[in-house]
A and B are shown apart, each in its own frame.
Chain A
């Protein structure tokens, strides 16, 4: 080849530049560049997702064309019966309004979440389990914001742009979540393995009882892999490895969330205004009649708060 030397020089230079990037990234750089890039790629991915989604839905609906006639007649029957109910709706509407207000009130102590759509998935051959969602700093999303869906914990935000955010999923190999067994309150850490349907539970107490079928919620304990609120459902124990007393006792856990078909999620942008654990306790007695009795009551309340079973409070 004519410019063999030139070709090799250019190849060498490109490889050297790439390796420099790798080294810089390992030393902790590159986050700024990713945020910059998400400013550009975010809107583009949003647009691409908006174009692709209807096409996918259309392709999916072709398969069910044969059953459409039956469906139409079923719907017609439903419309007729609903038409009959329409005259009695005023009473129902008032009742619904009351229920709605009640719901909003009870929701005041809950987490505030922003709904989001998953618009891009990291390629499986990149080994990282990450997705892009269509909300960003403008919607109040921050780094470390917890991401949930109807089933349980999805993951946490690891980088955020103006209109998009990148979420590291619970199953990513770098993910660590403080976990608690719902029934026995034993604590441990849930580590991602890179496998999409299984994560590892490591219990802190070697003799802790753990059985297949035990359900796990987040404990709120920080385990070096980010901060998670307490009480978010995580998964079910499917297999226990090792015997009680063994130092590295690990249980396999199947997450509640199906990560391969992730679509709509919620980002927790605001923790509860009042601690959900304390909120269910009776109010502190006033200290006027007897100071000592008031103090005892307060201690009791704190004690029961510490041992209370964490409730899944993410809506």
Chain B
């Protein structure tokens, strides 16, 4: 069922990318743009594990860096999203924690990617990085991502289970 999961991942990432670039800016929210894409990557990392999380982060980062209206350094988001997906993957699926902790972790990780972009961008000499804006962006990103995560993480988890139901020990023992 690997290809079904891959298709779901691709569909979710492209949808999140479109929502973030096209739909959300129409509402003219202050501060950061609610990062639906990175929340989706983190949610897929939770259910998919570190390898799939990192791969999903790479896919999402490269698409964000390529899709219009991208400008500046190509691959910058990819570096940060790979790490975000990997970290989410090592933290594991939601059933180990509970919903509130999951939403909280997602918000913190999303805010950390904003910092990550600024740090990596600063290291490679991206002239656009302005540190004055980083604290404000991180705070608003944290707030927005908590709200986004409350909807996106359960949705991604349900879709993932539906596409590929987990084979439990119980089912295995019955065969």
Contacts and interface: CB of A to CB of B under 8 A. Distances in A.
Given A37-B66, A173-B128, A122 B117 contact: no
Interface string A1-44: 00000110011001101111110111001100110011001101
Interface residues of A, number: 59
Interface of A: 6-7, 10-11, 14-15, 17-22, 24-26, 29-30, 33-34, 37-38, 41-42, 44-45, 48-49, 52-53, 56, 119-128, 130-132, 158-159, 161, 164-168, 172-174, 193-195, 260-261
Nearest to A36: B66
Contact of B18 (A29, A44, A172, A194): A44
A49 B128 contact: no
A167 B23 CA distance: 18
Contact of B50 (A11, A18, A34, A168): A11
A52 B22 CA distance: 8
A151 to B, nearest CB: 16
Q: Which of B62, B72, B118, B137 has the most CB of A within 10 A?
A: B72
Given A30-B74, A37-B66, A121-B21, A11 B26 contact: no
Given A48-B22, A120-B25, A127 B69 contact: no
Interface of B: 18, 20-23, 25-28, 31-33, 35, 50-51, 54-55, 57-58, 61-79, 82-83, 86, 113-114, 117-118, 120-121, 124-130, 133, 137, 141
Nearest to B57: A14
29 contacts: A7-B50, A10-B55, A14-B57, A17-B78, A18-B75, A18-B82, A20-B75, A21-B75, A22-B73, A22-B74, A22-B79, A30-B74, A34-B70, A37-B66, A37-B68, A38-B67, A41-B67, A44-B18, A48-B18, A49-B22, A125-B33, A125-B113, A126-B70, A158-B71, A159-B68, A166-B68, A172-B71, A193-B130, A261-B28
Contacts, number: 171
A72 B50 CA distance: 59
**Main DSSP-derived SS at the B contact region:** helix
Pick from A7, A26, A53, A127 the residue with the most CB of B within 10 Å.
A127
Contact of B79 (A18, A53, A56, A126): A18
Contacts of A48: 18, 22-23
Contacts of B86: 11
Given A15-B82, A18-B82, A124-B32, A194 B128 contact: yes
A21 B77 contact: no
Contacts of B72: 126-128, 174
Contact of B26 (A17, A42, A45, A52): A52
A132 B20 CA distance: 13
A196 B55 CA distance: 34
A91 to B, nearest CB: 44
Given A7-B51, A123-B20, A174-B128, A15 B114 contact: no
A144 to B, nearest CB: 14
A45 B63 CA distance: 13
A53 B133 CA distance: 29
B113 to A, nearest CB: 8
Contact of B67 (A37, A194, A260): A37
B173 to A, nearest CB: 21
Nearest to B15: A48
A14 B82 contact: yes
B54 A128 contact: no
B77 to A, nearest CB: 7
A174 B75 contact: no
A44 B14 CA distance: 10
Contacts of B130: 127, 173, 193-195
B118 A127 contact: yes
A18 to B, nearest CB: 4
A127 B129 contact: yes
B68 A18 contact: no
Nearest to B73: A25
Contacts of A128: 69-72, 128
Contacts of A261: 28
A195 B131 CA distance: 11
Contact of B71 (A15, A18, A124, A130): A130
